[in-house]
Structure 1
Amino acid sequence: MTIGGPDFVSFQVRDLDASARFYADVVGMTRIPVPNPHAAAFSDGTTTFAVRTPVEGMDLDAGDLGRGVGVWFRDPDAAGLHTRLADAGVPITVAPVDGPFGFTFAFADPDGYTVTVHERA
């Protein structure tokens, strides 16, 4: 048996409603219904991403959230997303580059998680 790649990623967040609105309204992700009242999920039909209230015992103020973990999303219009986020005042943490994955940049979400976006698979 061979394990596959990640099929679900979630961030523990301080304000579930604010993070859900950020990813839906500012980033433009498609929200999907979930039975868990402690989470908001988004999917493009392949991989599911969620924001959720912290798991018991997790202190979101204890250090750098997500330190050492890279979360990348693909967007065929990464340049357009970059413009929308920058215009909305979202912190761009890595300036755009044309790299091996095409147009690539990173931004910080409301909790300070760094999210990288690239245009090519």
Structure 2
Amino acid sequence: MAHLLGPDFVALQVRDLASSKQFYTEHLGLELAPHSPPNAVVFRTEPVPFAIREPAVDLDASPRLGWGVALWFLADDADTLHASLQAAGVTIAQPLQNGPFGRQFAFMDPDGYTITVHGRRS
């Protein structure tokens, strides 16, 4: 029987591609992949590529984007990233705390997606 091997690509639909690209590169330090398809921006993330893209649906028809989806990113330093985002005025959805994977917190991106960041467990 054929079966899934695991997540291979993650993309979020965003309202303003240029603004979101700036947020993810400047505030989160993501680097652009060498190639992106039209109407999308792919970032160089490992082991699973992450992208933002122009919407294929009316995003404003949803009361909250990403409701029910848990999207976690590993960070090299969750504490420092938390302080940087807080200083930049980014909405922190869950405070910095110890979690199952190490230090963690959650923030809201420009479109209102909740993204959890965690460090490595010590």
Report the TM-score, using the length of structure 1 for normalisation.
0.92
1:3: Cα distance to partner?
1.4
> Which stretches of structure 1, 4 residues or more, deviate above 3 A after TM superposition?
none
1-side partners of 2:115 and 2:39: how far apart?
A: 22
Q: How does 1:25-104 map to 2 (within 5 A)?
A: 25-55=26-56, 58-63=57-62, 64-104=64-104
Structure number having the greater strand percentage: 1
- The worse-fitting range, judged by mean Cα deviation, of 32-41 and 12-21 is 32-41
1:45: Cα distance to partner?
3.5
Q: Which runs of 5+ in 1 are unaligned?
A: none
**Number of residue pairs matched by the alignment:** 119
Tell me the residue number matched to 1:21: 22
Report the TM-score, using the length of structure 2 for normalisation.
0.91
1:29: Cα distance to partner?
0.8
Q: Which runs of 5+ in 2 are unaligned?
A: none
String of CA shifts for 1:1-27, please: whole Å, max 9, x gaps.
441221211110000000011001111
Pairwise CA RMSD: 1.3
Q: Percent identity?
A: 49
